């Protein structure tokens, strides 16, 4: 079946090579998530284990050694001077825009971005920062698109300075497709030349860098500030990091508190994210290699073939030949495999390859997909 019990050390030997614990967590094979989708019971067991095997004091209102140590660790991983914990990515992105735009200044975003589509107009309603959405035929935009926006704004009767450009990559609404690296470099050069701040909505940027054969800093150095999610790849219940220079980040705990983000405690999110952050890139790259081998072997069967997305990350198109997609999905769900709904528009399943694939073996996965 599509779920197994694993020792905690099997999830991250990078951290626990010398650990003799036999505590086990349930892990299910899934093709819908960025991470492991730990059950509440497994998450609780992991918290118990981590608190028994670490000597730390719980934070108070998101301040304290456990928080600051983790913030420093992630800042280093992102190639930035300083970082701050935020309870949500929405808050991290919002505060970044407040940091870069004085009231009334505008910020450019893509019309498919999370910041524009999924935050309830918070940035414009609460902070008076109008968002200018760029609509393109694909998931990204170019320097030329930004120049067109600036030109059109200069023709308005009331002009407003452009304070920031926000880029989400990979783009969730477009199956985690990436802006091309050359485009990012070009936009960064333009922004710095014109004294416009650049913010990266990089919820998944560490995974993106890992499978792009680039260093994380290759991406983050192009931006003034960066947001990283703690729950997408790192399996925390919630949480985010906003990173930038010391001058930008040092006093943002006041902004965080003002927006209701000074949580009484956040240690339970941080210790889980920290556990999975260690060795993540190595595991994620291995998962992608195994996932590609699995898809190739599955394609040798008469009922399957797959496609790689242009500028793609860990999402693939899986096509069925001579099979009812709804019946096929129900079969996998009955085996404990979390599987996405069929995309009728593109006649395929969009599947994600994540760390869960590391624990099942290619032959077993092919059997689970092909047996009646």
Question: What's the pLDDT tens digit per position in 184-196?
Answer: 999 999 999 999 9
In the chain, domain spans: 3-51+279-370, 65-277
C-beta atoms surrounding 272 within 10 Å: 22
Q: What is the pLDDT of residue 304?
A: 94
Dist. CA 88–CA 221, nearest whole Å: 23
Dist. CA 146–CA 140, nearest whole Å: 11
Structure tokens at 16: 């626990």
Residues 6+ positions from 130 with CB-CB distance below 8 Å? 104, 106, 107, 124, 160
Say what the pTM is: 0.93
Question: What's the pLDDT tens digit per position in 11-36?
Answer: 876 655 555 567 788 999 999 999 99
Dist. CA 213–CA 41, nearest whole Å: 36
- Angle of CA points 251, 256, 257, to nearest 5°: 100
Q: What is the pLDDT of residue 54?
A: 76
Dist. CA 107–CA 132, nearest whole Å: 6
pLDDT confidence band for 209 (50 / 70 / 90): very high
Phi, psi of 86 (to 5 degrees): -130, 145
Question: What's the pLDDT tens digit per position in 296-335?
Answer: 999 998 789 999 999 999 999 999 988 899 999 999 999 9
CA 239 to chain centre: 11
Phi, psi of 196 (to 5 degrees): -110, 130
Dist. CA 20–CA 9, nearest whole Å: 8
Dist. CA 306–CA 32, nearest whole Å: 16
Residues 6+ positions from 281 with CB-CB distance below 8 Å? 206, 207, 209, 210
Using alpha carbons, list the distances in angstroms from residue 261 to 65, 67, 351.
Answer: 18, 14, 33
C-beta atoms surrounding 305 within 10 Å: 16
Average pLDDT over residues 215-226: 98
The correct CATH number of 3-51+279-370 out of 3.40.50.2000, 3.90.1150.10, 3.40.640.10, 3.30.2350.10 is 3.90.1150.10
pLDDT confidence band for 82 (50 / 70 / 90): very high
Class of domain 65-277: alpha beta
Q: Is the pLDDT of residue 155 over 80?
A: no
Closest among 155, 240, 145 to 201, alpha carbons compared? 240
Question: What's the pLDDT tens digit per position in 127-153?
Answer: 889 999 998 888 899 999 999 888 877
Q: What is the pLDDT of residue 159?
A: 61
Cis preceding linkage at 170, omega within 30: yes
Q: Which of 47-61, 115-129, 240-254 has the highest mean pLDDT?
A: 240-254
Contact 348, 318 (CB under 8 A): yes
Q: What is the pLDDT of residue 160?
A: 64
Output the average pLDDT for the chain: 91
Q: What is the pLDDT of residue 15?
A: 59
């Amino acid at each position: 079946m599509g779920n197994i019990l694993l020792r905690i050390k099997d999830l991250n030997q990078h951290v626990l090579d010398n650990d003799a614990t036999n505590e086990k967590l349930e892990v299910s094979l899934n093709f819908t998530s960025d991470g492991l989708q730990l059950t509440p019971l497994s998450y609780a067991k992991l918290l118990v284990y981590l608190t028994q095997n670490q000597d730390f004091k719980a934070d108070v209102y998101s301040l304290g050694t456990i928080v600051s140590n983790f913030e420093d660790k992630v800042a280093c991983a992102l190639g930035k001077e300083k970082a701050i914990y935020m309870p949500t990515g929405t808050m991290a992105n919002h505060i970044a825009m407040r940091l870069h735009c004085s009231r009334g200044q505008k910020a450019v975003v893509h019309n498919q971005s999370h910041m524009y589509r999924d935050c309830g107009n918070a940035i414009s309603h609460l902070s008076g920062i109008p968002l200018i959405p760029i609509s393109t035929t694909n998931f990204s935009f170019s320097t030329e698109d930004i120049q067109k926006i600036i030109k059109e704004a200069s023709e308005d009767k009331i002009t407003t300075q452009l304070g920031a450009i926000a880029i989400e990559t990979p783009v969730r609404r477009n199956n985690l497709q990436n802006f091309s690296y050359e485009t990012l470099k070009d936009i960064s050069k333009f922004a710095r030349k014109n004294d416009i701040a650049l913010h990266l909505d990089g919820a998944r940027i560490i995974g993106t860098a890992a499978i792009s054969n680039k260093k994380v800093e290759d991406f983050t150095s192009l931006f003034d500030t960066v947001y990283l999610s703690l729950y997408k790849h790192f399996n925390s219940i919630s949480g985010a990091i906003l990173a930038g220079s010391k001058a930008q980040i040092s006093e943002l705990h006041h902004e965080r508190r003002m927006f209701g983000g000074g949580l009484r405690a956040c240690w339970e999110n941080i210790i889980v994210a920290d556990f999975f952050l260690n060795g993540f890139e190595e595991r994620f790259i291995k998962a992608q290699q195994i996932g590609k081998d699995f898809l190739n072997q599955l394609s040798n069967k008469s009922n399957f073939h797959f496609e790689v997305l242009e500028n793609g990350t860990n999402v693939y198109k899986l096509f069925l030949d001579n099979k009812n997609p709804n019946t096929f999905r129900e079969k996998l769900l009955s085996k404990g495999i979390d599987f996405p709904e069929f995309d009728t528009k593109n006649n395929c399943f969009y599947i994600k390859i994540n760390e869960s694939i590391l624990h099942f073996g290619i032959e077993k996965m092919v059997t689970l997909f092909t047996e009646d």
